[in-house]
A and B are shown apart, each in its own frame.
Chain A
């Protein structure tokens, strides 16, 4: 009788496990890349130009003879840290703003929600472009720019959740035990909204990875000698015929990061 349910639970478990494993692998790759790369990612070597993948150079070399594996490690570090910063800043501000507007409603809600809608009316990358042009290019500037562009989406999810919970009996009951508004929001409503907030955060992370890659690809992200996966993809495009392994390895890591976190979010949603 409970068979279909068991099967369903199992399927979600697989999503969760696959997502967690992939995410963990990418994070490990990133973490190691922060302290150690097999070669200097920026060292050129005219004798080892355009080598296909071998044991010596796991992902081959580019047309300057740089070790692509080392470069991808470094690029992943910059991409993942930018995305994490985006989610932390954008998610933090957005969830807080959404919680306050959803819980209290009223004029502040109307004003902030319209403001959010206005920001949403422009494509995220365009908003980010505006902020970058104000702050100048660079790693953390891109993160802040994307955070600003992503705030409304986090705010909307959190606002809906808090607005939906604030009149529930358990919230009123907590209020009647003398809990303050902040206490109720933090201790009671927030844990109950996590099932909708966590997937929003993981989706936000995936979007941030892609958006950062996109911006770097367009040349408004990190600046050389720093490199991110997007920047390196645009680099790889120029030597696609000569060193296809460059584009493939950048793309594969990018895909792993987005897919892993996406699956994780999907798994969490139903866990």
Chain B
């Protein structure tokens, strides 16, 4: 599945490595949580997986193996084939991640337009199916809606459907619920868990919020200052954190939210 081996990223303008040689594996059909505070290197790691790092501005070494292919060695043309096909990505703020002038349906089918030779009709059918899979009520209406006509939760469902539509082997979720309110957050997390269980899609869930990760993931890695300081089963990690940083992160969660 996804295997990160000794990934090291250093921006030329910084003293410290942004990512200091991490190893991380997302097994088949698993949701792995990656937590850490701002600046811990989790988003840089995500950008490296998505191929979004400006390679002229930083030094990258190590391997990122997705289904056995090292993403770091791909040229941009071959990386494009990976993006959207074997790798789906969902971002933090769906209202910003959707093109404001393009209808939701057309955006969700863009990956199909680029990567497959499906006809317009087939693409629409596939998107409507994905919309149904992410529990959007009235998929037909959503298909013909502009992003501003949808609520935040619906927008994020559209994004998830867009990532899902090409049947990728891994979905990368960068703070997928951070911009949403608590109720919608819980719904989206439940949806992700259900999609993971039903379709056996592996997911890498990146968040600064331990309670989010705890609700969605069985296995968790904790990142601090570019290194992975602790990794293990979520429950074990939460009941008896070994690393002092994990303890501090845990203490930062309000008690009321931990009990949920």
Contact = CB atoms under 8 A, between A and B. Distances in A.
B91 interface: yes
Interface stretch (A31-39, A155-163, A175-183): A175-183
Given A177-B162, A192-B100, A169 B83 contact: no
Contact of B111 (A177, A187, A192): A177
B217 to A, nearest CB: 22
Contacts, number: 61
Nearest to A195: B101
B93 A178 contact: no
A191 interface: yes
A184 to B, nearest CB: 10
Contact of B96 (A168, A174, A187): A168
A223 interface: no
B71 to A, nearest CB: 13
Interface string A135-175: 00000000000000000000000000000000011101111
A183 B84 CA distance: 14
A267 to B, nearest CB: 19
For the residues of A in contact with B, the DSSP-based class is helix
A188 interface: yes
A169 B93 contact: yes
A17 B115 CA distance: 43
B81 interface: yes
A173 B98 contact: yes
Contacts of A179: 80, 84, 110, 114
Given A169-B93, A179-B110, A180-B80, A174 B99 contact: yes
B114 A178 contact: yes
Contact of B84 (A169, A178, A188): A178
Contact of A169 (B96, B114, B115): B96
Contacts of A187: 102, 110
Nearest to B112: A177
A183 B85 CA distance: 17
B97 interface: yes
Interface in B109-168: 110-111, 114-115, 159, 162
Given A180-B80, A191-B101, A172 B114 contact: no
Most chain-B Cβ atoms within 10 A of its Cβ — which of A170, A177, A178?
Answer: A177
A177 B83 contact: yes
Contacts of A191: 99, 101-102
B99 A192 contact: yes
A173 B100 CA distance: 12
B161 to A, nearest CB: 12
A188 B114 contact: no
Number of chain B interface residues as a range? 20 to 34
Given A170-B97, A170-B100, A178 B115 contact: yes
Interface in A179-222: 179-180, 183, 187-188, 191-192
A143 to B, nearest CB: 32
B91 A177 contact: no
B50 interface: yes
Given A169-B91, A169-B93, A177 B84 contact: yes
Task: With a 10 A CB-CB cut-off, give which of A172, A174, A179, A187 has the most chain B CB atoms.
Answer: A174
Contacts of A169: 91-93, 96-97
Nearest to B80: A178
A187 B97 CA distance: 15
B252 interface: no
A123 to B, nearest CB: 37
Interface string A32-62: 0000000000000000000000000000000
Contacts of A175: 52, 83
Contacts of B115: 178
B182 to A, nearest CB: 22
B89 interface: yes
B166 to A, nearest CB: 8
Contacts of A192: 99-101
16 contacts: A168-B96, A169-B91, A169-B96, A176-B83, A176-B84, A176-B87, A177-B110, A177-B111, A177-B114, A178-B81, A178-B115, A179-B110, A179-B114, A187-B102, A191-B99, A192-B99
Given A170-B96, A170-B100, A191-B99, 19 more contacts: A168-B96, A169-B91, A173-B91, A173-B159, A174-B99, A174-B110, A175-B83, A176-B50, A176-B83, A176-B89, A177-B83, A177-B110, A177-B114, A178-B82, A179-B84, A179-B114, A187-B102, A191-B102, A192-B101
List 9 A-B pairs, minimum CB-CB distance, nearest first: A178-B84, A177-B84, A169-B96, A177-B111, A176-B89, A178-B83, A173-B97, A169-B97, A170-B99
